[in-house]
Amino acid sequence: MEKEIKKTLASRTKNYLPDQRLRRAAVLIPLFKKNGEYHILLTKRTEKVKHHKGQISFPGGRQDQKDPNLLATALREAEEEMGIAPKDVELLGELDDFCTASTDFCISPFVALIPYPYPFRVNPHEIAEVIEAPLSALRRESQMRQEIFLSEGEPFLVYFYQYQGYTIWGATARILKEFLDILPNS
């Protein structure tokens, strides 16, 4: 499947959103094969972090001035949060940029393959739980719902995914939906 994902991502034109007013951030979407099935790595953030307390997210965060590019940001953050060494990451491609209305971030998601099992070193200040979700579970239609919210009088669509008692929503759910939508059907 990783070859198909890589090919699909390479054939797309990425939607960049270079709004200079927004703060840049990047996330890593780590995939791994466990018990013959592909899984995606998600995290539950602690109540100690500045943004998105207690929410489900991908490893990632704000771009530092020392980061040469957004991929470097995603890799640095994945290492800081989860102990995933950049040398262990096989980049498969990028998804479209996503902007958040509530925190003024523009997020660049990078899809990658990591080995499994992996000796994660979880940063307890940032990560409360590690979630290993099978792609097959997330792809079930019953796992996702949509709601329309209003922001400054304008309607916008919000996605919610349910997995084992966790609710994935916001930018993470929008990124997850785009990723799941490009996956091959097999």
Would you state the torsion angle of the CA atoms of residues 149, 106, 16, 85, taken in this order, to the nearest 10 degrees? -120
* pLDDT digit string, tens, across residues 95-123: 999 887 667 788 999 999 999 999 999 99
Distance between CA atoms of residues 11 and 134, nearest Å? 25
Distance between CA atoms of residues 6 and 29, nearest Å? 13
Which domains does the chain show, CATH number per domain? 2-136 (3.90.79.10)
Residue 93, amino acid: G
Count of helices and strands (H, E) across the chain? 4, 11
CA-closest candidate to residue 120, choices 30, 1, 25, 26: 30
Q: For 142, which DSSP code?
A: G
Distance between CA atoms of residues 88 and 41, nearest Å? 14
Distance between CA atoms of residues 111 and 130, nearest Å? 18
The partner residues of 160 in beta bridges, in order of sequence, read 145, 169
Distance between CA atoms of residues 57 and 161, nearest Å? 12
Q: What is the pLDDT along the chain (186 residues), one digit of tens a residue?
A: 889 999 999 888 777 666 667 789 999 999 999 999 999 999 999 988 877 778 999 999 999 999 999 999 999 999 999 999 999 999 999 999 988 766 778 899 999 999 999 999 999 999 999 999 999 999 997 889 999 988 788 888 899 999 999 999 999 999 999 999 998 775
Give kind and range of the element (H or E) at residue 175. helix 170-182
